A and B are shown apart, each in its own frame.
Chain A
Amino acid sequence: MPLTARTPRALFRACQDHPNQILNRVLTRYRLRFPVRFATPTQTLLAFFNGQGEAVAVPLPPTPWYLFIGQQIQAMPEGSQYTPRILEYRYRIQGTPLLEDEAEVRFEYVSPDIDPDFSYSRHHVQFHRDSRSASSDFSLSKFHIPTGGVTIEHVIRFLIADLGVPSLTAHWQDELRESERVTREWLRETE
């Protein structure tokens, strides 16, 4: 059953609680938070924020990796309820906490709402410009290499299984599988 709520704020709270649960059980104690405008509370940015309101990458000790999560979510009215639509996501894994530094790998999505004329694959992955490329004409940092829709759970799995970030629990696979199931049911398919 898709996720619905009576108000945009309740919807965003649910959209925040769910990834925070899996993040905090499996990967990190940092929490995603969501600012909203008084004037237009139907859109938010789900991210890790520091005290200055900067969306930041959080450390994943003892590995050298830092994780940035940004999800732009729109509350869509549907009858007397609201449902979530992801307008854009940017998940970045990087070797420093600095937002000015290029990520090692980025999973990104640009919805038709954000850019109806986006000429690249809407779901794509890009790599650091110094990553080894097959040839000088094949740029892993510039090409928008197609992917499926990437969830936060997919990124957590990649961090643990491939990059060796230690899980907070021995049951991380079970936790991720359940969280992925709920996410699939909640979120509408993105183009």
Chain B
Amino acid sequence: MALPQELQDPLVPSPFETEQDCIELSDEELFALVDAQARKFLSISGEEVLQRLRARNPLRDETGHEVPAWGPVSMLARLLLAD
């Protein structure tokens, strides 16, 4: 899924910069968030997070432990796989 140009601009306000409790996101906005967090916390792309979720193959370190940031990032990414 391609990242829209406007979502690559860090100056674009985040939908989370509000006081609202419910944050409605388009698929493009959600994927952009997942991709940015995957690259920042996991050093992989958002697309790879989705592939690993589909394969039930969490990202692990060299000792076999699930990488700590996998949980928070994958839980957000899972929304993209919801039917």
A and B: bona fide binding partners: yes
Please count how many residues in chain B sit with their CB below 8 Å of the partner chain's CB atoms. 34
Choose among A16, A50, A53, A70 the residue that contacts B75 (Cβ–Cβ < 8 A): A70
Most chain A CB within 10 A, of B25, B30, B41, B68, is at B68
For B78, the closest partner residue in chain A by CB is A72
User: Contacting A54 at CB < 8 Å: which of B23, B37, B56?
Assistant: B37
Within 8 A of B (CB), among A35-65: 35-45, 47, 49-56
Q: Does B3 sit at the interface, judged by CB under 8 A? A: no
| B69 and A13 contacting across the interface, CB-CB below 8 Å | no
Q: Is the CB of B22 within 8 A of A53?
A: no
* Cross-chain contact B79 with A141 (CB below 8 angstroms): no
- Would B65 and A70 count as touching, CB distance under 8 A? no
Chain B residue with Cβ nearest A45: B75
Interface locus among A97-105, A146-154, A163-171, A181-189: A97-105
- The interface on chain A, measured as residues whose beta carbon lies within 8 A of the other chain's beta carbons, has a size of 48
Contacts of B4 in A (CB 8 A): none
Across the interface, do A45 and B16 meet the contact criterion of CB distance under 8 Å?
no
Expressed in whole angstroms, the minimum distance between the Cβ of A32 and any Cβ of chain B is 8
Chain B 61-83, CB-CB to A under 8 Å as 1, else 0, gives 00111011101110110111011
B interface, CB within 8 angstroms of A? 14-17, 20-27, 30, 33, 36-37, 41, 56, 63-65, 67-69, 71-73, 75-76, 78-80, 82-83
Additional pairs, 19, CB under 8 Å, beyond known A53-B37, A99-B68, A108-B71: A16-B21, A32-B21, A34-B21, A35-B79, A36-B24, A37-B25, A39-B26, A43-B79, A45-B75, A52-B14, A52-B33, A52-B36, A68-B72, A70-B72, A70-B75, A87-B78, A99-B41, A100-B41, A115-B56
